[in-house]
Structure 1
Amino acid sequence: MKTFQKPLSAAEEAHYIQALQEGNSDEAAAAKEILIERNLRLVAHIAKKYQNVDEDMEDLISIGTIGLIKAISSFDAGKGKLSTYASRCIDNELLMLLRSKKKSRGEVSLFEPIGTDKEGNEINLLDIMEHEQVDITEQMALYENTKKLAKLLGEVLTDREREIICLRYGLLTGKEVTQREIGELLNISRSYVSRIEKKALNKLREKFEER
């Protein structure tokens, strides 16, 4: 499968949506093209849900892209996040394809098997329709940001700062520790823990935004 461009940041997405809705014809056309290109990865992720329903993946992506284009053309801020709204539109377009295929061979049943999942279990249209809508773009962005922060922890913080941040937010154990508990553990005052934590967070934020 082809490699797709990375999703837009929240600020970039807002900029292009505004250009699409408020810019002149050239600006709107350019913004629409960028919004489509930078959301094709979302189409591919959603299309994977349907890869075992006897349809070519490239065809699924093509149909899903139609749903993406419709979403971008009809989106407004009142509909929530673009990725969430687009996911529903892409899903709807793919479900319409499957229904039309079924209708060409007879009546559609939501419970009729249309393929199997990766484990070999039968899936039907109802399974797909009830599948929880996941904000895939947000998940990918969270994953990338988490990797970036993990790297910065070792690059920009002192040993003491890193220890306090890891304890405070449960980065190693999954259990958050209060400033008072950290102070008792390290034999320093709670206020000193607070100052170190604040300084460390500011350093992380500054370096994170630079990158």
Structure 2
Amino acid sequence: MKTFQQPLTAGEEAYYIRLLREGTVEEAIQAKEILVERNLRLVAHIAKKYQNVEEDMEDLISIGCIGLIKAVNSFDSGKGRLATYACRCIDNELLMMLRSRKKLSREVSLYEPIGQDKEGNAIHLLDVIEEKQKDIVEDMELGRNIRRLFSALDHCLSDREYRILVMRYGLRGQKEHTQQEVGDILGISRSYVSRMEKRALHKLASKLRED
């Protein structure tokens, strides 16, 4: 795999983002090229997570680059560093590609006739599969959503809201508790637990939509 350039510093990134948005046409084109080139290392890093899906690494990087370019085009500098935003765009692009190819593979292979039964009826691969195969793409997406959920738990809830959700839903390896049990543990009423739970879930949903 090729050697990628070092990432931009925060100051360099801000400078090229400003050129991209406010510079001349030539400056904007140059700034975009630099922002993409200096973040290719990030694309390669994310693409490595998908090596077990039987895709060529160069193809994964190429698709990831599309996500990176989209990130550069739509990035809002008021929301932090480009790399953080680009990670989501690159991930999304790779997952969309894998879902598309998975669907095509199913259409081509699972429904393709592979023989005939004794009565002369066509037999398809789908007819002889006995057990559902593990869906790597869906597992990856599930894992990503779980990480997003726990990140939101850690950053948008008060300590009490966090404890209530952990106990109510058995998170972080805890046992599930009823609202009454949570209230007894925390020394508050069941109705207050219910209100806090609803408020915490609303916060989580808003945070995940925002992300």
Structure-1-length-normalised TM-score: 0.54
Instruction: Please list every run of 5 or more consecutive structure 2 residues that lacks an aligned counterpart in the other structure.
Output: 108-131, 149-211
> Relative to 1, partners in 2 of residues 1:53 and 1:114: Cα closer, same or farther, differing over 3 Å?
farther
- Is 2:10–2:81's contact at 8 Å kept on the other side of the alignment? no
Give the counterpart letter for 2:18 in structure 1: Q
Once the two structures are superposed, the pairs formed by residues 127-142 of structure 1 within 5 Å of their partners are 127-130=142-145, 132=147
Residue 29 of structure 1 aligns to a residue whose secondary structure is: helix
The CA RMSD measured in Å over matched residues stands at 2.3
- Is 1:47–1:60's contact at 8 Å kept on the other side of the alignment? yes
Query: Is 1:13 aligned to residue 49 of structure 2?
Result: no
Once the two structures are superposed, the pairs formed by residues 60-71 of structure 1 within 5 Å of their partners are 60-71=60-71
Bigger helix fraction: 2
- Is 1:35–1:72's contact at 8 Å kept on the other side of the alignment? yes
Segments of 4+ moved more than 6 angstroms:
none
More RCO (CA 8 Å, sep 6+):
1
> How far is 1:125 from its partner?
3.5
Give the counterpart letter for 1:29 in structure 2: I
Instruction: Please list every run of 5 or more consecutive structure 1 residues that lacks an aligned counterpart in the other structure.
Output: 116-121, 134-211
Give the counterpart letter for 1:66 in structure 2: I
Residue 124 of structure 1 aligns to a residue whose secondary structure is: helix
Q: Which residue of 1 aligns with 2:43?
A: 43
Give me the identity figure in percent: 65
Aligned residue among 113, 123, 134 for 2:134: 113
> How far is 1:114 from its partner?
4.5
- Is 1:112–1:125's contact at 8 Å kept on the other side of the alignment? no
- Is 2:17–2:77's contact at 8 Å kept on the other side of the alignment? no
Residue 4 of structure 1 aligns to a residue whose secondary structure is: coil
Question: 1:126 & 1:112 partners in 2: Cα distance?
Answer: 16
Give the counterpart letter for 1:126 in structure 2: E
Aligned residue among 126, 141, 153 for 1:126: 141
- Is 1:71–1:85's contact at 8 Å kept on the other side of the alignment? yes
Once the two structures are superposed, what CA deviation does each residue of 1:133-161 show, in whole Å capped at 9, x if it has no partner? 7xxxxxxxxxxxxxxxxxxxxxxxxxxxx
- Is 1:51–1:57's contact at 8 Å kept on the other side of the alignment? yes
Question: 1:8 & 1:41 partners in 2: Cα distance?
Answer: 11
Structure-2-length-normalised TM-score: 0.54
**Count of residues paired in the alignment:** 124
